[in-house]
């Protein structure tokens, strides 16, 4: 199809093609050439190869920006094609780039924008379709620069400091999530600091925000850590060092909910923050009876998803199940902390409902098993459940987001 249009339109046709189209065009031309039916010049074929190499370079250099400027249909089509290559062992991109593309698509599937979305009046004009994310370098003479600079300098507790620059992150998707959470969490907003020594994590935060699933472990429990004072985040190993004398930190608006005493090994469930292994300790002392809050979607997990055959065998939860049921095996790191006395049959997550969102659909499954080979955030689904979220078993592996109901 692409080859015919290229023969009719010429080189201008290439400008309308994205990476997956270019690969498909190259495959069509290779087949025609092998059959002795080539209809284009070597020079034009070289242009196609150059276009593919350019697109791959752009994707690998800045996968976040590459993905965010794609429409939903373009991104889905690209991921579908790369998924097919991935299943054949021919993927032209690294797993880290693959994860970013899938995470971008997952985030779009989870967030349902509506016409009532608003953003702060001092932000520059934005559009969900054209520029959902903007990075605005503040003028040094602006009031906003002066306010943020003063807040940071006082909190850093150092006498001599030079503010190199301040960039406002305008992310409509993250602002939408923030607004939605304000509807269910008491309006307790604080300005806090966050540091990361990883430029990769910094980019992840700027485009996709903070997620608990990326932050297992911590001195006083699992979760994303923020500091009241900048001097804490400015210390090793939390701060990103651009040079020996230049460092970068996030100043964040944080919506605070309920609180409890933390401790090493503490972890978070969908509705509470509990003791070691989520088995002991206080859990949201002010959330009991009829006043108990609804589970928050802020505890959203992201990971890879594949399928496995149960075939009527006993699962880790001690019950037989079939492949036609909507069930899941939870990754070992998140399953094991809920196992009591070493007996998985007594795991408190057994038969808990999980809502799973994939590129092709949303489904509610029950936790019935443990996936020993799955990493934190990942799931194994029954074949029936995997078809709903991924569309087909031939996909093999896909990216999903999920939370415990």
pLDDT, tens only, 186-216: 778 999 998 888 888 888 899 988 866 555 5
What pLDDT is recorded for position 293?
Answer: 31
Question: What is the phi/psi pair of residue 304, to 5°?
Answer: -85, 155
Q: Which long-range contacts (CB under 8 A, 24 or more apart) does 261-269 make?
A: 262/220, 262/221, 263/220, 263/221, 264/219, 264/220, 264/221, 265/221, 266/220, 266/221, 266/222, 267/221, 267/222, 267/337, 268/212, 268/221, 268/222, 268/223, 268/299, 269/299, 269/404
What pLDDT is recorded for position 286?
Answer: 33
**Measured between alpha carbons, how far is 369 from 395 in angstroms, rounded to an integer?**
22
Helices (H), 268-336: 332-336
Kindly give the parts of the chain with pLDDT less than 50: 269-298
**Measured between alpha carbons, how far is 165 from 259 in angstroms, rounded to an integer?**
34
What pLDDT is recorded for position 131?
Answer: 80
What pLDDT is recorded for position 301?
Answer: 77
The two three-digit tokens of residue 177, written as one number: 């999530």
What pLDDT is recorded for position 382?
Answer: 93
Which residues pair with residue 402 across a beta bridge?
A: 301, 356
Q: What is the pLDDT of residues 270-314, one digit of tens each?
A: 444 444 444 443 333 333 333 333 333 335 677 889 999 988 888
What pLDDT is recorded for position 298?
Answer: 39
Assigned CATH class of 301-404: mainly beta
Whole-Å CA distances, 187 to 182, 184, 271 = 6, 9, 18
Q: Which of 329, 316, 302, 304 is nearest to 383 (CA)?
A: 329
Q: Which of 130, 25, 133, 134 is nearest to 71 (CA)?
A: 130
Q: Which of 362, 366, 357, 371 is nearest to 401 (CA)?
A: 357
What pLDDT is recorded for position 403?
Answer: 80
**Measured between alpha carbons, how far is 79 from 400 in angstroms, rounded to an integer?**
13
Q: Domains of the chain: which residue ranges?
A: 2-110, 133-257, 301-404
pTM for this prediction: 0.66
Neighbours of 297 (CB within 10 A): 15
What pLDDT is recorded for position 216?
Answer: 54
CB 3 within 8 A of CB 28: yes
The two three-digit tokens of residue 303, written as one number: 């990971």
For residues 155, 159, 160, 164, the Cα torsion angle rounded to the nearest 10 degrees is 20
**Measured between alpha carbons, how far is 364 from 400 in angstroms, rounded to an integer?**
13
What pLDDT is recorded for position 151?
Answer: 92
Say which CATH topology domain 133-257 has.
Phosphoenolpyruvate Carboxykinase; domain 3 (3.90.228)
What pLDDT is recorded for position 141?
Answer: 96
């Amino acid at each position: 199809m692409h080859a015919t249009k290229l023969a009719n339109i010429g080189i201008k046709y290439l400008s309308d093609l994205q990476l997956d189209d270019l690969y498909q065009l190259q495959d069509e031309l290779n087949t025609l050439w092998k059959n002795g039916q080539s209809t284009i010049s070597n020079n034009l074929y070289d242009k196609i190869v150059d276009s593919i190499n350019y697109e791959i370079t752009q994707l690998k250099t800045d996968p976040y920006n590459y993905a965010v400027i794609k429409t939903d249909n373009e991104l889905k089509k690209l991921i579908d094609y790369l998924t097919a290559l991935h299943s054949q062992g021919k993927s032209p991109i690294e797993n880290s780039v693959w994860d970013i593309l899938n995470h971008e698509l997952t985030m779009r599937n989870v967030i349902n924008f509506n016409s009532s979305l608003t953003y702060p009046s001092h932000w520059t004009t934005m559009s969900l379709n054209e520029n959902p994310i903007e990075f605005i370098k503040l003028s040094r003479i602006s009031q906003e620069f002066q306010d943020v600079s003063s807040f940071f300098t006082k909190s850093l507790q150092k006498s001599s400091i030079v503010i190199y620059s301040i960039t406002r992150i305008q992310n409509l998707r993250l602002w939408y999530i923030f607004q939605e959470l304000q509807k269910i969490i008491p309006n307790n907003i604080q300005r806090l600091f966050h540091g990361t020594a990883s430029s990769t994590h910094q980019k992840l935060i700027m485009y996709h925000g903070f997620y608990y699933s990326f932050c297992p472990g911590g001195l006083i429990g699992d979760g994303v850590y923020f500091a009241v004072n900048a001097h804490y985040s400015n210390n090793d190993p939390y701060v990103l060092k651009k040079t020996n004398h230049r460092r970068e930190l996030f100043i964040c608006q944080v919506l605070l909910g309920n609180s409890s005493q933390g401790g090493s090994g503490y972890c978070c469930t969908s509705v509470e923050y509990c003791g070691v292994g989520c088995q002991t300790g206080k859990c949201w002392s002010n959330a009991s009876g009829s006043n108990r809050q609804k589970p928050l979607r802020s505890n959203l997990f992201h990971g890879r998803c594949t399928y496995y055959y149960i075939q009527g065998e006993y699962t880790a939860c001690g019950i037989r199940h079939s492949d036609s049921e909507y069930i899941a095996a939870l990754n070992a790191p998140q399953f094991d902390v809920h196992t009591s006395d070493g007996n998985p049959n007594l795991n408190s997550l057994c038969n808990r409902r999980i809502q799973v969102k994939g590129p092709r659909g949303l489904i509610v499954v029950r936790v019935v098993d443990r996936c020993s080979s799955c990493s934190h955030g990942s799931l194994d689904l029954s074949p029936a459940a995997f078809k709903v979220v991924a569309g087909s078993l031939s996909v093999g592996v896909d990216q999903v987001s999920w939370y415990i109901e």
